[in-house]
Protein backbone atom coordinates (compact mmCIF):
# COMPACT_ATOMS: atom_id res chain seq x y z
CA UNK A 1 0.00 0.00 0.00
CA UNK A 2 1.26 3.49 -0.79
CA UNK A 3 1.05 6.10 1.95
CA UNK A 4 2.84 9.04 3.56
CA UNK A 5 3.54 9.93 7.17
CA UNK A 6 0.95 12.70 6.85
CA UNK A 7 -1.62 10.22 5.53
CA UNK A 8 -0.61 7.08 7.38
CA UNK A 9 -2.64 4.02 6.29
CA UNK A 10 -0.72 1.43 8.31
CA UNK A 11 -3.82 0.38 10.24
CA UNK A 12 -5.73 -0.19 6.97
CA UNK A 13 -2.85 -2.24 5.58
CA UNK A 14 -2.74 -4.58 8.58
CA UNK A 15 -6.55 -4.86 8.70
CA UNK A 16 -6.48 -6.11 5.11
CA UNK A 17 -3.55 -8.48 5.77
CA UNK A 18 -4.50 -10.20 9.03
CA UNK A 19 -7.71 -11.96 7.91
CA UNK A 20 -5.66 -13.91 5.32
CA UNK A 21 -2.60 -14.36 7.55
CA UNK A 22 -3.38 -18.03 8.28
CA UNK A 23 -3.53 -18.82 4.54
CA UNK A 24 0.20 -18.15 4.23
CA UNK A 25 2.12 -21.43 4.20
CA UNK A 26 5.77 -22.27 4.89
CA UNK A 27 6.23 -19.64 7.64
CA UNK A 28 9.72 -19.39 9.10
CA UNK A 29 8.26 -18.24 12.46
CA UNK A 30 5.24 -16.38 13.90
CA UNK A 31 6.75 -12.90 13.64
CA UNK A 32 5.16 -10.17 11.55
CA UNK A 33 7.22 -7.73 9.50
CA UNK A 34 6.24 -4.14 8.73
CA UNK A 35 8.38 -3.16 5.74
CA UNK A 36 8.91 0.18 3.99
CA UNK A 37 10.36 0.84 0.54
CA UNK A 38 11.45 4.45 0.05
CA UNK A 39 12.45 6.28 -3.14
CA UNK A 40 16.13 7.07 -3.63
CA UNK A 41 15.66 10.73 -2.61
CA UNK A 42 13.06 10.17 0.14
CA UNK A 43 15.33 11.12 3.05
CA UNK A 44 17.34 13.80 1.22
CA UNK A 45 14.13 15.68 0.33
CA UNK A 46 12.06 14.56 3.30
CA UNK A 47 8.51 15.91 3.60
CA UNK A 48 5.76 14.24 5.67
CA UNK A 49 3.52 14.20 2.57
CA UNK A 50 5.99 12.24 0.40
CA UNK A 51 4.63 8.77 -0.34
CA UNK A 52 6.39 5.46 0.16
CA UNK A 53 5.45 1.81 -0.23
CA UNK A 54 4.54 -0.19 2.89
CA UNK A 55 4.14 -3.95 3.18
CA UNK A 56 2.59 -6.18 5.85
CA UNK A 57 4.62 -9.39 5.60
CA UNK A 58 5.81 -12.63 7.14
CA UNK A 59 8.97 -14.55 6.33
CA UNK A 60 8.44 -17.83 4.45
CA UNK A 61 10.69 -20.65 3.25
CA UNK A 62 9.30 -20.54 -0.29
CA UNK A 63 6.58 -19.06 -2.47
CA UNK A 64 4.93 -22.31 -3.58
CA UNK A 65 1.50 -21.14 -2.40
CA UNK A 66 0.64 -17.44 -2.45
CA UNK A 67 -2.85 -16.53 -1.15
CA UNK A 68 -5.10 -14.54 -3.46
CA UNK A 69 -4.73 -10.76 -3.15
CA UNK A 70 -1.16 -11.16 -1.86
CA UNK A 71 2.22 -10.66 -3.51
CA UNK A 72 5.71 -11.94 -2.80
CA UNK A 73 8.63 -9.75 -1.77
CA UNK A 74 12.30 -10.73 -1.74
CA UNK A 75 14.35 -8.67 0.70
CA UNK A 76 17.74 -7.73 -0.80
CA UNK A 77 20.62 -8.81 1.42
CA UNK A 78 23.00 -6.38 3.06
CA UNK A 79 24.08 -4.90 6.37
CA UNK A 80 21.41 -3.69 8.79
CA UNK A 81 21.69 -1.70 12.00
CA UNK A 82 19.24 -3.32 14.43
CA UNK A 83 17.67 -1.38 17.29
CA UNK A 84 15.49 -2.78 20.06
CA UNK A 85 12.62 -0.40 20.75
CA UNK A 86 10.09 -0.36 23.58
CA UNK A 87 7.14 2.01 23.42
CA UNK A 88 4.37 3.24 21.18
CA UNK A 89 4.96 2.83 17.45
CA UNK A 90 3.52 6.32 16.95
CA UNK A 91 6.50 7.87 18.79
CA UNK A 92 8.90 9.14 16.10
CA UNK A 93 11.55 10.35 18.58
CA UNK A 94 13.40 7.03 18.35
CA UNK A 95 13.71 7.32 14.56
CA UNK A 96 14.92 10.91 14.97
CA UNK A 97 17.62 9.59 17.33
CA UNK A 98 18.67 6.89 14.83
CA UNK A 99 18.95 9.26 11.85
CA UNK A 100 20.07 12.47 13.58
CA UNK A 101 22.29 11.20 16.41
CA UNK A 102 23.35 7.58 16.02
CA UNK A 103 23.97 7.47 12.26
CA UNK A 104 26.08 10.67 11.94
CA UNK A 105 28.37 9.49 14.76
CA UNK A 106 28.66 5.89 13.48
CA UNK A 107 30.84 4.35 10.76
CA UNK A 108 27.70 3.82 8.67
CA UNK A 109 25.48 5.71 6.30
CA UNK A 110 22.02 4.89 5.03
CA UNK A 111 21.84 2.32 2.23
CA UNK A 112 19.05 2.32 -0.35
CA UNK A 113 17.23 -0.90 0.58
CA UNK A 114 13.97 -1.59 2.42
CA UNK A 115 13.58 -0.68 6.09
CA UNK A 116 11.54 -2.89 8.38
CA UNK A 117 10.29 -3.56 11.87
CA UNK A 118 10.20 -7.08 13.27
CA UNK A 119 7.07 -7.51 15.36
CA UNK A 120 7.68 -10.53 17.58
CA UNK A 121 5.91 -12.03 20.57
CA UNK A 122 6.52 -8.93 22.74
CA UNK A 123 4.85 -6.61 20.20
CA UNK A 124 1.53 -5.19 21.38
CA UNK A 125 -0.17 -2.71 19.07
CA UNK A 126 -0.74 0.73 20.67
CA UNK A 127 0.77 -0.34 24.01
CA UNK A 128 3.59 1.62 25.72
CA UNK A 129 5.10 -1.73 26.84
CA UNK A 130 5.29 -3.01 23.26
CA UNK A 131 8.69 -4.20 22.01
CA UNK A 132 9.98 -4.55 18.46
CA UNK A 133 13.20 -4.56 16.46
CA UNK A 134 13.87 -1.74 14.00
CA UNK A 135 16.09 -2.73 11.06
CA UNK A 136 17.74 0.14 9.14
CA UNK A 137 19.77 -0.66 5.97
CA UNK A 138 23.30 0.69 6.25
CA UNK A 139 26.61 0.56 4.46
CA UNK A 140 30.05 1.64 5.57
CA UNK A 141 30.75 5.33 5.04
CA UNK A 142 32.92 6.07 2.05
CA UNK A 143 36.03 7.87 3.27
Q: Is 79 helix (H, G, I), strand (E, B) or coil?
A: strand
Domain count, the chain: 1
CATH for 70 = 3.20.80.10
Structural domain range at position 53: 2-140
Q: Choose among 125, 114, 110: nearest CA to 32.
A: 125
Q: What is the pLDDT of residues 39-86, one digit of tens each?
A: 999 999 889 999 999 999 999 999 998 999 999 999 999 999 999 999
What pTM does this model have? 0.94
- pLDDT tens, residue by residue, 100-129: 999 999 999 999 999 999 999 999 988 999
Q: Within 13 Å, how many C-alpha atoms sit on residue 86's CB side? A: 2
Cβ within 8 Å of residue 5, ≥6 positions away? 48, 49
pLDDT for the residue numbered 75: 96
- Going by C-alpha positions, the residue among 143, 136, 32, 117 that lies closest to residue 79 is 136
The mean pLDDT of the chain is 95
pLDDT tier for residue 143 given thresholds of 50, 70 and 90: confident
Amino acid sequence: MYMSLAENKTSDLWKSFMPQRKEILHNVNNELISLQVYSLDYFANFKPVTTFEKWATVEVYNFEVVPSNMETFVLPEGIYAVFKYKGLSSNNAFFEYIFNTWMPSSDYELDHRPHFELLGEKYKNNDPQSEEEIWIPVQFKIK
